[in-house]
Structure 1
Amino acid sequence: MKSPTARHPALTPLAQLLAMSLAALALPTQAQTAPATDAPKSADVVGLERVVTTASSGAKSKLRSSVSVTDVDQEVIRDYGAHTEAEVLLLIPGIRTDATAGPGGNANITVRGLPISSGGSKYVQLQEDGLPTVQFGDMNFGNNDYWTRFDNNVDSIQTLRGGSSSVFASHAPGAVINYISKTGKEQGGNVGITRGVNYNETRFDADYGGKLAPDLYFHVGGYYREGEGIRKTTSNALNGYQLKGNLTKEWNGGKGFVRVNFKLLDEHAPTTPQTFVNGTLSGNTIGGFSKAPGYDGTRDSQYSIYNSSMPSYNPSTRTLSQSSLVNGITSNMKSLGFEFHNELDNGITIDDKFRKSTNSGAFQAQFWNLMTLPNLLSGFGAGSTAKYYNGPGAGTAVTSANLGAGLVSQGAAINVQSPDMGTLFNDLSVNKTFKVDAVTLDAKAGWFHSRQNVVQTWAINERVVEAAPNGRVIDVYDASGAALTTAGLTGYNNQWGACCARDINAQFTTDATYLSLNAAAGDFDFDGGVRRETFKSNARYAGSKQVVGGVDLNGDGAITGAEKNVYVSDIANPGLSNYGISYTNYSFGVNYRLNKDASVFVRTSKGNRAIADRLLYSANIDPTTGQLTSGGKTAALAPVKQNEIGLKHRGNTEFGYYGVSATLFHSTTQEFDYDQTRQDNPALPNYQGPKLNVLGYKADGLELETSGGVGNFSLAFNLVYSKEQITQNLGSPGVIGKTPNGAPKVRFTISPRYTVGSFAIGATVRGQTSVYNDDANSSQVKGHYIVNAFANYDFGNGLTGAFNVGNLFDKVAPAGTAGMIAGSTTLVGAGMEPGRTMGVSLRYGF
């Protein structure tokens, strides 16, 4: 999805609130929980005394750190009523994501103008307690948000943007988002239930922690949920649970501890990549959005009881089965880890974090490629016709008049199985603190090791279906009446230029040594570090080959329809990947404390992102030797440079208190882009590909977060301004100097909250300016804003109730880019903001 120019959304109803917010200097995402009404005026509303533990050299407060850090607490996320990880991440200033894919994940996540060229989270790492959930955020059908869930186990989410992430994390030069778990050192727990009022989902949450002895404590908790999710899918399309826990033993007077932790995640959840609405193209701007007749693009999905499964031909075992398409994203994760920490009397501190995870899953979903019926039939040849394969009217002719919503789809029906996406991580470091005259020095050396498995089988068909709430499967026939499809399939494993009969067995390892040095002298804090990484790829990968003459899959003695167009994995002639590359990252910063309530900092950094499975099948690897080709070393690495200067300040007036953090940034990157599933040229047969390019980007911008309060009223306001530009495009040099598609110049959140006794009400308004739909900037989508609201009541004795409303005004708006549907002048295809959702919850704390 690509973004338009700086056209601002109509915010007239919010103008007064925005003015109040600026006046109060109340900004950051609700990263800071609203202070209690009886809090002193010196309350640390922006958390400047909070210790930065994410991708940092040691325990140091935000006020003394030369990095941009945001904390988002449990209360803020509960009030917002987030349904997905993408919605949680929308609360973090600087992070850009589209909250449309669904509860299973598959969101595109980025920061500071770094591109989302291949989907997923290429430059942003999701962590749990300081270690990645998976090593690469943009693995094909294995993005990092597949394996991450927010629940009551999380104490807070700490995000470090840019800065020292280049030194203290691998393959995460953009940002590190760290889910920090409760440990039970503070005793207590919660049980709760949340039920959708106008959508079908029920969720149960529980957690508890406490001390077993003065130096022994634990925490355990999790959730279970079932239903459809916030879009209409099929019964029980959303189903699963997460269970997490840890046990901590302290010694050495509390200066040392060892912690054992575990996690079990077992869930399948629907994903909705695209829907459609009414819209108009006026000049170069798409707007005027409303719900289309027969289809609600803000609540309906591509799923139906009639299209919920398909025939699937395993390209490796050559077996035919029926594959579900409503499971969406299946995530199974079993992890066990430990953490060791000890501070010795000689000023040396030893830390080690370890985690081993057994991960498996699947991606089973129907993608839409929307068009009118005449447009569809024209692609099959003169005289072709269509009939309903199943459902009401099965066997009768399909016409434009009897289509449920007037559209059909000829898109990807995906069945990707991932039996092994397992990981192993270990991060060992040694700190030494010593003094030289009036200077305190802190030196840290460490070694990080990771192993990421990618074992997958791709079976991706092209299928024709009716695009409607109860959409049926459609078969197409030629002028003589011969079937061109079978159960809607135009072939087996034939999608995206016949890319998609794949068999992959890969392992990627990273070893990194790092060294940092901090110096504190008076009001100055200097820090810098270097990281030397070695990345290795060891893979066997089989591509697609067409079976000459087809395959009689149904055993009727004839080869018809989709049986004529069958692809399998060429497992007898696999390609190899067996190479290693080494590179160096660095980051240097200076922080100066102006006084006890303010500081300024500057920092420069360079980090690299090695390309993992997305480099396979490309010409950058010699498939015979497994080594990189002549240009492969450049393609295998994406360098990111960032410069930033920031201010952090808190204060109080006779009216109340406030806090503000502001960072100016400049970022650049260059990358080789290879993505078989995102074709750019529909003029080529079957969107022939893959998409190959060399791209460069730069961005200049401002991240602003503020928070403050007056009496019972508190307000948080976040704003990100980012001027982004394409600096290189080998395939389309004409777009150099243009704005990347999908990138708004301005994004913001405004979060007021008012408390009266036991009752609290509030809202979060999030919005963005317009985005371009393509890199050529030929058209754009208007900006928009969405309002989420909540009301909470404390009944006493630990019992609280809440009512949350998402998209309060039921606005119809694309979350990012959009396009007119082929053959139509009134319908627009896009990833849409979900419609109004209402949920109630009861929670008991003890």
Structure 2
Amino acid sequence: MLKTTHLLSSIALFALPMAAHAQEAPLDDAAPADEEIVVTGTAGGGISRQDAAFAITSINAEAIERAAPNSTADLFKVIPGVSAESSGGQNGANIFVRGYPSGGDAEFVTLTVQGVPFFSPPTLSFLENTQLIRIDETIERVEAVRGGTGALFGNGQPGLTVNFVQKEGGRDFEGLVKASITDFGDLRGDMLLSGPLGESTSFMIGGYYASGNGIRDPRFTAEKGGQITANVRHDMDRGSILVFARYLNDRGQWLLPIPVVRDGDKVRQFGNIDPGTGVLAGPETRLSLLPDGTRADLADGRGADLVNLGTNFDYEIGDGLQLRYRASYLKGDADTTGLVPASTATSADAYAASLGSTIGSLTYVNGGQAVAGSQPVIRAGTWIVRKQIEDFTNDLAVEWDSGNNKFTVGAYYSDFSSNDQWNLGNVQLLTAETNARLLNLVLANGQVATDRGFTQGSFFNVNAAYDGREYAFYAVDEFQVTPELRLDAGIRYQHYKASGTLENNDFGVNVDGDPDTLYDNGTAVLNGTFRNIAYKKGSWSWTVGANYDISSSVGVYARYNRGNTNPFFDNLRDGIFVSPRVDNYEGGVKVRTDLLSLYATLFHTRFRGLATTVITNGAPIASIGGARSTGVEIEGQIRPIDNVSIAFSGTWLDAKYRNFFADGGATDLSGNRVQRQPKWQWRVTPAYDIPFGNDGKVSLYSTFTYVGDRFSDTANTQSLPNYFKIDAGISVDVNQALSFAVTADNLTDKVGLTEGDPRQLGAGSQVVNARPILGRSFRFSAAYRF
């Protein structure tokens, strides 16, 4: 738990700039859009994209609307070098970056708002940070930096840093109300209001509320909640302050693997479980009393209930001397409840045989009717993960601008915590069908296999309190050698300290002492004893880069950076103390003309000290080692004629493990492809705008996406076939006030797999568990601006 003094100091720091009452100045006009000023990964207040010596993607509000993301993570699909699996629903995404090896979640991804991380650990088990923020109408643009200078700023992320830049108020009062509905019945309302509070002060407030069952309908309300964001900006003669607040209370169904039929590279439907809309969860599995007495509700799903406060303060101390301060405070819950497959689908007769007998009786839990032994069944467990998280982060920098040279020194401090209560397992016997039903099984030899459908209690529990702190100091120098040549170099020292107290498990407990009641044998029970963990380490990161403008529209750059990450709380709990190190080399070409915008990057990255963990047979199993990746990223837009554009992005990636060992060092996986990341992926989005009347416009657009074949696991035993997906949309701006839109996701209803089942590695059966992309859906929206 963060100390109270940290909260009080954060409030004082938010308020302190208000005391700097310099002479007020009128609100500045917005910078021209064609300058493409970016702030992520920069030492100062921003740099034009054409001058940046690193790979960055900037996604404006119009591009966000055309991407029509199903979740925050789903927006990341437009970023080259990033594989974002949003098939887990609004939350529970897996995000992979440029060949960085990981087993899931978003291990090498840092999210920031207004340039400051809101939760410093990039990921924890059952918590990737897109779970803590939503895309709505308050977002002006999203910036994403891969590699490059990201290893110096914020929390020193060497992978991907994504910054959400909020809209701000202007000179006039403006507003937006928007309503949308999907063809599967989900409803959403958005609102935005902004304007002046005085000659030099402005405000913005907005948010959304949504409700529905979701495209994978469990026959209860599984998607529900909203977010509200507000900010106030005050401009002074020599600076400005922005104070923002965000409240998120939103949850959605945690979508997990379902049974499918694999036939080589073909994927077919299993039973009545449609790959695009099917789900095991249903009315019978929604509410349950777990074997240890805990009550569970699958409608709780995965989400967050939190408050996030922050500030940006910029002040010119003297000529050429600038003070910059960024701070964030976050506190709340990030909980998960889900129905997790524990076996592949098979017949009830085959399941009984696996227990060493035959069926004595097989009945529905609700109703008691007899069920045939040929009935396909599957086992799935209700998992509960509760997290109470807190974070205070601040970043103070002083920038000295002297002609052609800009020198920045800064200090970063973050204090964060997570209190975890897990209950994993609680496996039930279900019919293998959409909205599965609970089954009770008694074997012919008299053994009782189930109790209220449960075949097993908990197999892994966590009761833990973790605390972490990071201190960092950095210095960056940028030198404009000539009008065409710009050099920069920087260094960062970061010290990380983590501690925790964990309650121990007793494994393999026979709760009632009766070996013939199979459902409570082999249970994990927290035993009231505790152990402590502690870790601390300091590390250096550095970078050097050069940007050269061949002409006003063509530039090239080159960069090297070394970055480090630290073992997360979950690694330390599992006895993994390695600190990953990343060496990244990249170079690129930038072209910007009236006809073409093109950004192409060649990169080579070396990784050392990586840990990839999956839960196998009820325990976390780690694979540790290194990897290398080489690849090319491209993105851009062609504008052949007026009102026609073709946006494109793509990645070629060759990523393989090096000196990478599993099974406690017994199995060498070197040479295998890095899991879950394709060699090829690309997107093309043509768009055509048709003006009409004085202010009207019809926009037609479509996106063609290709994702190449991948392996679901480090051993490369589970292949995931390539797939091709088409999205489309049409929007009509009737005038400056009224607009309508229809977007189609997965227009051809393509079946594409994003993961296999990490608990069933190398399963050879044709019927396997896998998580497909969402099926075809449509969203209709209407908006009114005033």
TM-score if structure 2 supplies the norm length?
0.90
1:98 corresponds to 2:85: yes
Report the CA distance between 1:434 and its aligned residue: 1.0
- For 1:350 and 1:467, how far apart are their aligned partners in 2? 61
Partner SS state of residue 482, structure 1? coil
Contact preservation (8 Å) 2:98, 2:653: yes
Q: Does 1:708 align with 2:638?
A: yes
- 1:297-331: CA deviation from partner (whole Å, max 9, x where unpaired): 111112111111222366xxxxx232112321031
CA distance in 1 between counterparts of 2:598 and 2:67 reads 21
Shift of 1:126: 1.3
Indicate the SS of the match to 1:431. strand
Report % sequence identity.
21
Distance, in Å, in 1 between the alignment partners of 2:730 and 2:34 is 29
Matched position secondary structure for 1:595: coil
Match of residue 591, structure 1, among 534, 539, 547: 547
Question: Counterparts of 1:822 and 1:660 in 2: how far apart (Å)?
Answer: 41
Q: Which of 678, 689, 709 is the matching residue for 2:615?
A: 678
1:151, 1:647 → 2: CA distance? 33
Q: Secondary structure at the match of 1:468?
A: coil
C-alpha deviations, 1:6-57, integer Å up to 9, x for none? Answer: xxxxxxxxxxxxxxxxxxxxxxxxxxxxxxxxxxxxxx99x87322211211
Q: Which amino acid in the other structure matches residue 509 of structure 1?
A: R
Query: Of 533, 536, 547, which residue of structure 2 is paired with 1:577?
Result: 533
Change (3 A) 1:218 1:589: same
Cα pair 1:227 1:238 within 8 Å, conserved: yes
Tell me the equivalent position of 2:8. none
Q: 1:660 aligns with which of 589, 598, 601?
A: 598
How is 1:202-213 mapped onto 2 (pairs within 5 angstroms)? 202-213=187-198
The letter of the residue matching 2:584 is Q
Query: Does structure 1 retain, via aligned residues, the 8 Å contact 2:446–2:516?
Result: no
Q: What is the rounded CA distance, in whole Å, between the counterparts of 1:739 and 1:592 in structure 2?
A: 35
Q: What residue in structure 1 maps to residue 25 of structure 2?
A: none
Could you tell me how far 1:695 is from its partner in structure 2? Answer: 2.2
Deviation at 1:422, TM superposition (A): 1.2
Q: Residue type matched to 1:650 in 2?
A: R
Residue equivalent to 1:247: 232
Partner of 1:12: none
**SS of structure 1 residue aligned to 2:285:** coil
Q: Which amino acid aligns with 1:413?
A: T
Distance 1:817 1:766, change over 3 A: farther
Q: Separation in 1 of the partners of 2:161 and 2:153? A: 10
Q: Count matched residues.
A: 740
Counterpart Cα distance in 2 of 1:68 and 1:384: 61
Rounded to whole Å, the distance in 2 between the matches of 1:469 and 1:743 is 29
Matching residue's letter, 1:580? K
Matches within 5 A, 1:770-789: 770-778=709-717, 780-789=719-728
Question: Could you report, residue by residue, the CA deviation over 1:759-810 in whole angstroms, capped at 9, with x for unpaired residues?
Answer: 1111011112222344444563331111110011112251100011111111
Which residue among 456, 472, 475 is the counterpart of 2:420? 456
Q: 1:558 to 1:588 in 2, by over 3 A?
A: closer
Cα distance per residue 1:679-715 (max 9 Å; x no partner): 2xxxxxxx15331221211110001011021222111
1:214-244, Cα deviation, whole Å (9 max, x unpaired): 2000101000000012221232111101001
Query: Is the CA contact 2:699–2:732 (under 8 Å) kept in the aligned structure 1?
Result: yes
Give the 3-state SS of the residue equivalent to 2:50 in structure 1: helix
Query: Any idea what SS the aligned residue of 1:422 has?
Result: strand
The aligned residue for residue 568 of structure 1 is 525
- Find the counterpart in structure 1 of residue 565 from structure 2: 609
What letter is aligned with 2:526? S
Q: Which residue of 2 is the match for residue 759 of structure 1?
A: 698
Secondary structure of the 2:197 match is strand
> Does residue 1:512 correspond to 2:472, yes or no?
yes
Pairwise CA distance, 1:423: 1.0
Given candidates 791, 794, 803, the residue that maps to 2:742 is 803
Which of the residues 504, 517, 535 maps onto 2:496? 535
Distance verdict in 2 for CA 1:360–1:386, change over 3 Å: farther
Q: Which moved more, 1:161-170 or 1:539-548?
A: 539-548
For residue 486 of structure 1, the aligned residue among 444, 451, 467 is: 451
| Shift in alpha-carbon separation, 1:672–1:738, aligned structure 2, 3 A | closer
Match for 2:407 among 443, 455, 465? Answer: 443
1:211 Cα shift?
A: 1.0
Tell me the distance in 2 between the aligned counterparts of 1:545 and 1:66: 54
Alignment of 1:416 onto 2:385 = yes
Task: Report the equivalent of 2:260.
Answer: 277
Match of 1:744 in 2: 678
- Assess if the C-alpha contact under 8 Å between 2:713 and 2:761 holds in 1: no
Aligned to 1:692: 622
CA distance in 2, matches of 1:216, 1:350: 20
The structure-2 alpha-carbon separation of the partners of 1:476 and 1:674, relative to structure 1 and needing over 3 Å to count, comes to farther
Looking at structure 2, the residues matched to 561 and 332 of structure 1 have their Cα atoms a distance apart, in angstroms, of 38
Rounded Cα–Cα distance in structure 2 between residues aligned with 1:524 and 1:543: 59
Aligned to 1:193: 179
Cα distance in 2 for partners of 1:520, 1:75 equals 34
Corresponding residue for residue 437 of structure 2: 472
Post-superposition offset of 1:81: 2.0
The reply on whether 1:356 has 2:342 as its aligned counterpart is no
SS of 1:90 mapped into structure 2: helix
2:277 to 294, 299, 306: 299
What CA distance in whole angstroms lies between the structure 2 residues aligned with 1:366 and 1:157?
33
* 1:50 aligns to 2:11 (yes or no): no
Partner amino acid, structure 1, of 2:325: D
Greater share of strand residues, 1 or 2? 2
> Which letter maps to 2:210?
R
Matched, 1:726 2:657: yes
1 CA distance for matches of 2:598 and 2:502? 51
Letter in 2 for 1:83: N
Provide the rounded CA distance (Å) in 1 between the counterparts of 2:276 and 2:480. 53
Kept in 2: contact 1:152–1:221 (CA 8 A): yes
- What amino acid is the match of 1:383? T
Residue 564 and residue 274 in structure 1: after superposition, are their counterparts in 2 closer, same or farther (change >3 A)? closer
- CA spacing shift, 1:220–1:549, aligned 2, 3 Å: same
Q: CA deviation at 1:832?
A: 0.5
Aligned counterparts of 2:636 and 2:157: Cα–Cα separation in 1: 26
Once the two structures are superposed, what CA deviation does each residue of 1:116-170 show, in whole Å capped at 9, x if it has no partner?
22x2111111111112232223201222111021000100000011000101132
Identify unmatched segments of 5+ residues in structure 2. 1-30, 692-696
8 A Cα contact 1:359 1:423, kept in partner: no
Give the conservation status (yes or no) of the 8 Å contact 1:386–1:398: no
Are residue 82 (structure 1) and residue 72 (structure 2) matched?
Answer: no
CA contact (8 A) 1:65 1:525 kept: no
Distance 1:525 1:822 in 2: 51
Distance 2:658 2:220 in 1: 47
Q: Which moved more, 1:725-734 or 1:348-357?
A: 725-734
Q: What's the CA shift for 1:111?
A: 1.2
Measured against aligned partners, the alpha-carbon deviations of 1:90-127 in whole angstroms (never above 9, x if no partner) come to 11122111120001x1111121110122x211111111
Q: Measure the CA separation in 1 of the matches of 2:160 and 2:679.
A: 19
**CA distance change for structure 1 residues 394 and 56 in 2, over 3 Å: closer, same or farther?**
farther
Instruction: Check whether the contact 1:190–1:207 (CA below 8 A) recurs between aligned residues.
Output: yes
Contact 2:364-2:371 within 8 A present in 1 as well: no
| Compared CA separation, residues 546 and 280, structure 1 to 2 (3 A) | closer
CA positional deviation for 1:375: 4.2
Please tell me whether residue 641 in structure 1 is matched to residue 583 in structure 2: yes
- Note closer, same or farther for the CA distance 1:443–1:781 as it changes in structure 2 (3 Å cut): same
Match of residue 399 from structure 1: 373
Distance 1:826 1:725, change over 3 A: closer
Alignment root-mean-square deviation, CA: 2.4
The change in CA–CA distance for 1:693 and 1:815 in structure 2 (over 3 A counts) is closer
- The AA in structure 2 aligned to 1:536 is K
